[in-house]
Amino acid sequence: MSEKKRIAVLASGGGTNFQSVVDACASGYINGEVCLLIYNRREAFVKERASKHNIPAIYLNKYMFGGDLDKHDEKMLEILREYKADLIVLAGYLSKIGKRVVDAYENAIMNLHPSLIPSFCGEGMYGMSVHKAVVDYGAKLTGATVHFVDYNFDTGAIILQKAVEVDFSDDAESVARKVSVIEHKILPEAVKLFCENRLKVVGRKVQIIE
């Protein structure tokens, strides 16, 4: 088996998807280890999850640099390189990744989005706003997508997608619960594939190598 990949997770909230990756590493499903958490909201519960597993957790927010995104990105890159991260996983991270970071980690930054991209995605579409939009539109299917990160919101090459049905009686909260179940499956699966060197990006397509 190849050497374990080092995974940095970026998160802003409760961290259930962070937990799914940590657990999958601990069980041996993923040939990797979560070496770092970067979080950008001081009250984010995810930092408590990191502490429980003795994973270094670093608070980093653009407002620490007076809103200077270049200085923020420079610091983020410095931290990622210090911890020798091979892969960056965005698990409910509510900020756009800067161009310098994207360039440094080309096809090595994954994001989890709570819909079937290209539907219900883009700037401003995150969390419950996505599920509310799905219900309001009357969509019969929604789901979750793991994709590589590029310079724009939710436009990178798609790695994995899984769908769930939206029933007539569903509201945003019930849709969120359905989607959460599949998020906790496809994010660890995508990370597993990366750590096994089984993902190849060809244009806009991602080939899964058997």
Query: How far is Cα of residue 186 from the mean position of the Cα atoms in its chain?
Result: 11
CA distance 67 to 46: 23
User: Does 113 qualify as catalytic in the annotation?
Assistant: yes
CA distance 75 to 143: 34
Quickly tell me which residue has 């436009």 as its tokens. 155
Check: CB of residue 109 under 8 Å from CB of residue 102. Answer: yes
CB neighbour list of residue 98: distance below 8 Å, 6 or more residues apart: 69, 70, 72, 73, 76
Catalytic residue among 72, 113, 131, 184: 113
Query: How far is Cα of residue 53 from the mean position of the Cα atoms in its chain?
Result: 19
CA distance 24 to 203: 29
First to last CA, the chain: 15
List the catalytic residues.
Answer: 113
